[in-house]
Structure 1
Amino acid sequence: MARYKPVDQHLSKLLPVSFAEQIVPGTFEYALNWLVDHEIDLTVFDARYCNDEVGAAAYHPGVLLKIVLFGYARGLTSSRDIERACRENVVFMALSGDTQPHFTTIASFVAKLPDEITSVFRNVLLVCDEQGLIGKALFAVDGCKLPSNASRSLSGTRADMAKKIEKIDRAIAHMLDTHRRQDAGQNTDTLTQREQQQIETLTRNSNKLREWLATHPEKTNRKGEPLKSNITDNDSATMKTSHGVVQGYTGVAAVDAKAQVIVQASAFGIGQENGLLPEVLQALRSDFSAIGSADPLADATVLTDSGYHSEATLQRLADDQVDALIADTGFRSRDPRFAEAWQHKPIEKQRQPGEHRSKWFGRADFIYDANRQTCICPNGKQLKLKTVNIVIRGRRGVGFEGTRAMCQACSLKAKCMRKPDVSPCRQITFFDGSKVKETHPQTKAMKARIDTREGRLLYSRRLGIVEPVFGNLHTKGLRRFTLRSRRKVDAQWKLFAIVHNVEKLRGKAP
C-alpha cells in the first residue's frame, strides 16, 4: 500500500523577511528604487498636499510612484490589483515599506499624475542620457491605436446624437402607448417593474444626450467638417485599427536607435497620424531642452512610416530644418525587392501590382483610346467627351461623362457610381502624365531620396528600432488605456514609457 507524507494545513510558521534583501541589484525593482530615491525630483508632488500644519500624514509620493510603476511593469494597471499586491507580494512590500496604501489612494494618485508625470519622465530621460544610452543620431517615430475607457456607442456628430434622441423618444412613446392600449378600461396601473425600469433608463439616456448637446460645441476638422464626438470622453476619437474600429487614443513614441530608449511619448485623440509628427518632434526638443541637453535633431535623422506622410508635414519639417526619411504609400510598390510580395499574402488578399480590385469600377475597367479620345464604359456604352484639357490638382487630363438617361437605366449603376442618387451620371478622367505645376515638391523630393540605395538601407532600420519597443509594452499588458481625457491618457502612456526606460537602466544603478 502506498505511503504518503502527512500534510497539516493548520500549522503556523514565522518567516523572517528583510525587505532590503528583496530588492536585488540588477533587477528592475532595484533600478526603480534607486531612481526614485536618488534621481527623480519628488518635490513636484508637494504642491498637491496641504497637511503641513493640520490633517493626517500622507503616503510618500515616492512610495506611490514605485508601486504604480512596478505594477505597470508586472501588467497590473488596476489600483485594486496593486493594493492586493502590496499585501501579498514581498517585492511590492519592500518597495512600499509595507505601508499598503488603499486602492482609492492609488487611484487618486494616478488620476492627478498628469501635472507631474512630464517632470518624472524627463528625470529618467536625463539619467539615460548621462549613462550614454541615447545616441542622438537616429530616431524612429511610430504609434499604436488603443481603445480607452469610453463607449463607442456614445459617439457621433451632433446630427447623429439628435437622431438618437428622437429614436429613444419614439421608443418611450411606443412603450407607453402599448401600455395604454393594454390597460384600456382598467383603473389599475399594470405597467410592470421591468417596463418601468426600461422607460426610466431610456429617459435618463435621452436627458443625458440633451444636456451634452447643450453644453458642448461641434467638433470639426481643419476643413470645418463635423467630426464625431464622444459623451463619455470627448477627447477620444473613433479610429480604425487592425482589430476593428475602436474608441480611443493614438500613443506616439519617438525611440532612439542606440539603446531603444523612448525619448518622447505623447497620446493624441486623433485617428489620422499624418499631422502629428511636427508636434511630437517639438515636444522632443522641449524635453531635451528641459534637461539641459542640446537640440537632439540638429545632427539626427527621423524615420517614420507612411502614416505620417503628407505634403504639409514634409514642408513643416523642411522649414524646421529637420532631416527626416518618411515613406509614402507607394514606397513598396516602387521597390523591386517587393515585386512578388503579393504572392505571400492570403489568397483572398492577393493582388498583383497594377491589378484593380474594388467594389466600384475604376479606370482599369474603362476602355480609353488616347488617339481617338474615346471611352467605353464597362457596360459597353460610349461616354461623351467632356473636355480635352482638364486640370485636377495640377495634373492635366481628358474628361468623359455619361448621360443621365444612359447611367440611371444601367444595370451596373450600383458598381459604377458610389452615390447614384446624388450624381446623375458617371464621370471619369484619364491623365496624360503631364503637370501644369508641381503641387507636391516636398513629396517628390522625398520619393527621390528614399528610392535610392542609401535611402532604402537607412529606412529599413526603422522596423528594428521602434517595433520591439511596442512589443515590450504589449508584454506589459498594455492593451487599452484605462483613464479618460487626453491629459490623463497621456500621463498613462508616459508611465509605460518610463517603465520601458527604467528597464534600460537595469544594472546601471550603483
Structure 2
Amino acid sequence: MQHITGISRHQMRFSSLEDAISTDNQVRFIDAFVGHIDLSKLGFAVKTLKTEGRPSFNSQVFLKIYLYGYLNGFRSGRDLEKECSRNIEMQWLLENIRPNYHSITDFRKNNPLALKNTFKLFVSFLKDSDLIGGETIAIDGTKSRAHNSKKANFNQKKIDKHLEYIESKTQEYLTALDENDVKESATKIQHIQQKIERLKGNKLRYELLEEKLKASGEPQISTTDSDARALLVQGQVVEISFNIQAAVDSKHNLVVATHTINRNDRSALSAIALEAKENLAIETYTALVDKGYHNGKQIEICQQANITTIVAQPEQGKSNENGTTAAYLVSQFQYDKTTDSYTCPKGEVLKTTGSWHKKSKDRDSYNFKKYRTPKCKGCSVKHLCTSRAGGREIDRSQYGDAVEANNKRYHANAQLYRKRQEINEHIFGTIKRQWGYNHTNLTGLEKVNGEHSLIMLVYNIKRSINILGVPDLITKLKKWNSPYKAKVLLWLKTNYLRLKLAFVSYKTKLAA
C-alpha cells in the first residue's frame, strides 16, 4: 500500500516569516494593537536606550509575548521562553527576538497597574468600535485559587488548636522523661528531649503568628501570600483564594470592568459598578446582580451614582429575631413611608419608637429601627408568624428605601434578570474550565490584579476577533484615536491661538 511521503529534511527552501502567517491570524492583531498604543502613558516601565552596555529589549516585545501566551494557554516564563524559539507565530510576532524567562516574568511582575490600564484602554476601543452597548451590564464574581495552601493559612481558632496540641504533647513527653529516667537508655531520653525542643520551636512560631494576626486586625492570616484569604467557593467548600469581579456588557458579552479582591461579594457591588461606569464614560446603565451582592449600603451608593440596580432579593423565610421559620415573610409586610410603619398580612400596624440601633455585619456597620405592635400577643395566627414571646419584630435599616426600590425592580423585571446568567456566567466557565486559568501563580493582591486584568483583556481580544475577524478589527484599530491621542488633540485645539501667537513672535525675532 502506497503512503503519502514528505519532503526531504535536507531540501533547501526560500521563504519568509511573513509567508507563514495568514492575514486572519490573531498574531497580526496583537502586533497592530501593541504597535498602536503608547506603553509609557499606560504606566509600563519602558526601557530607555543606553550609550554603553548591551542594548535592552523593547517593552513592546514582552507585552506581545504575554498577549500571545495567554491567548494560547502559556503562562509561565519558561514556557513562553520555549515558544519564542520553536513557535513560528511567536517568531513572526517578535521578529525572532528570544528573551530569557527571567526577563519575561519580571515584566508581568513589575507592571500590574499598567496591565490594568491596558485592559481599560481596550474597553475604550471596543466602545468606540460599537461593540459595547453600555445599557445593560451583568456583574458577578468567581474565586481564583491563590499561591497559598490551606496549611499556610491561620485564624485564631486554628492557632489555639495548634498551641493546645503542642502543650499536651510537651506534657506527655515530660511525664515520660520523669517516669523512665532510670529505666530507659540514654539514646531514647535524648530522642524525647529533641522532640520537646522541636515543640518549643513550633510553639514560638505559633505565638509569633498570633501576635502578627492581632496586629493586622484581620480575622485570618496567610504566610505564603499575605493577601490571600480563605473564601467560601461553593456550599461548604473553602479555598485560599482571591475573588475576581467582572462587569459584562449585554451586547456582545464583553468584559467592561474587572478587579480582584480578597473578600466575599457582600460589600463588593459599588466598586465594580462604578468602575464599569467610569471605563465606559456613561451617565447611567442597568446592573443585573445576583443575591450574594444584596447589601443596602452598596445599593444606595449605586443609586446615588445614577446606576439602576436589579439585585436579586434573598429568601426571607426566617423571622429576624430568632431564626424560626415563619409563614409570613418580611416581604408580606407593607411599609408606609408617610406614617413610617408596617402593616402585617392581618391588617395590624407595626410602629417604631424612632430610636436608631447599630448593627455590624461582615465588618460593615449600619443603623436600623425596630417595628412592633402589642396586638401580636393576642393574634390568632401568631404561631405562623413568630415564636418570639413579645410578638413579631421587624428591622428596617437606614438604606431601607434604596433596598425597597431595588426589590420592586427585581420583581417587576423578572424576564430581564433571567438574562444575567446568559451574559456573564459563561465567561468564568471559559476562563477557568476551558483555558485552565482557575489559579494564580503570583503573590500579592496588586500583582494578582494585574494578571487577572491580562486574562480579561485576552478574553476580550479573542471574543472581538470572533465577532469581527482580524482584518476588520485591525481596520477599526487604525482609524481609532485612543483617549491619549484625543487629549493631545483637545489640548492643541484649546491652545491653538496661543501657539500661533508664540510662533509669529518667534519668526519676528528670527527676522530681526
Q: What is the TM-score with the length of structure 1 in the denominator?
A: 0.69
Q: How many equivalent pairs are there?
A: 416
Task: Determine which of 270, 273, 292 is the counterpart of 1:281.
Answer: 273
Residue 31 of structure 1, CA deviation? 1.6
Task: Determine which of 411, 415, 424 is the counterpart of 1:451.
Answer: 411
Pick closer, same or farther for the CA change 1:6–1:317 going to 2, 3 Å: closer
| 1:227 paired residue number | 219
Distance 2:351 2:123 in 1: 57
Residue 208 of structure 1, CA deviation? 4.7
Q: What is the correspondence of 1:76-87 to structure 2 with a 5 Å cutoff?
A: 76-87=74-85
Residue 110 of structure 1, CA deviation? 1.4
- Which AA in structure 2 matches 1:450? Y
Is contact 2:248-2:424 (8 Å) kept? yes
Is contact 1:183-1:189 (8 Å) kept? no
Structure 1, unmatched stretches of 5+, are: 221-225, 289-294, 334-353, 366-387, 400-426
Q: Deviations over 1:249-306 (max 9, x none)?
A: 11001111112221111000002x1211111123334434xxxxxx32x231111111
Distance 1:14 1:168 in 2: 72
Task: Determine which of 244, 253, 258 is the counterpart of 1:265.
Answer: 258
| 1:480 paired residue number | 439
| 2:498 paired residue number | none
Is contact 1:134-1:261 (8 Å) kept? yes
Distance 1:169 1:131 in 2: 66
Residue 468 of structure 1, CA deviation? 2.4
1:509 pairs with 2:456: no
| 2:293 paired residue number | 308
Pick closer, same or farther for the CA change 1:6–1:172 going to 2, 3 Å: farther
Is contact 2:286-2:308 (8 Å) kept? yes
1:329 pairs with 2:289: no
- Which AA in structure 1 matches 2:92? A
- Which AA in structure 2 matches 1:451? H
Residue 210 of structure 1, CA deviation? 4.5
Residue 489 of structure 1, CA deviation? 0.9
Distance 2:452 2:438 in 1: 11
Distance 2:474 2:125 in 1: 10
Pick closer, same or farther for the CA change 1:286–1:101 going to 2, 3 Å: same
Q: What is the TM-score with the length of structure 2 in the denominator?
A: 0.69
Is contact 2:270-2:299 (8 Å) kept? no
Residue 201 of structure 1, CA deviation? 8.0
- Which AA in structure 2 matches 1:314? I
Residue 176 of structure 1, CA deviation? 8.7
Residue 43 of structure 1, CA deviation? 5.5
Distance 2:245 2:73 in 1: 20
Distance 1:27 1:199 in 2: 65
Q: What is the correspondence of 1:105-144 to structure 2 with a 5 Å cutoff?
A: 105-144=103-142
Distance 2:267 2:276 in 1: 16
Q: Deviations over 1:383-441 (max 9, x none)?
A: xxxxx999996353769xxxxxxxxxxxxxxxxxxxxxxxxxxx942797685867633
Residue 62 of structure 1, CA deviation? 1.4
- DSSP 3-state at the match of 2:144: strand
| 1:252 paired residue number | 245
Structure 2, unmatched stretches of 5+, are: 328-349, 354-367, 378-385, 476-512
Identity, in percent, stands at: 20
More helix as a share of residues = 2
Q: Which moved more, 1:463-472 or 1:35-44?
A: 35-44
| 2:401 paired residue number | 441
Residue 100 of structure 1, CA deviation? 2.5
Q: Deviations over 1:108-137 (max 9, x none)?
A: 221112131122112212221221111111
Pick closer, same or farther for the CA change 1:43–1:434 going to 2, 3 Å: closer
- DSSP 3-state at the match of 2:130: coil
- DSSP 3-state at the match of 2:309: strand
Residue 446 of structure 1, CA deviation? 2.0
Q: Deviations over 1:133-166 (max 9, x none)?
A: 1111111111101211012222233453354355
Distance 2:188 2:84 in 1: 54
- DSSP 3-state at the match of 1:429: coil
Pick closer, same or farther for the CA change 1:438–1:179 going to 2, 3 Å: closer
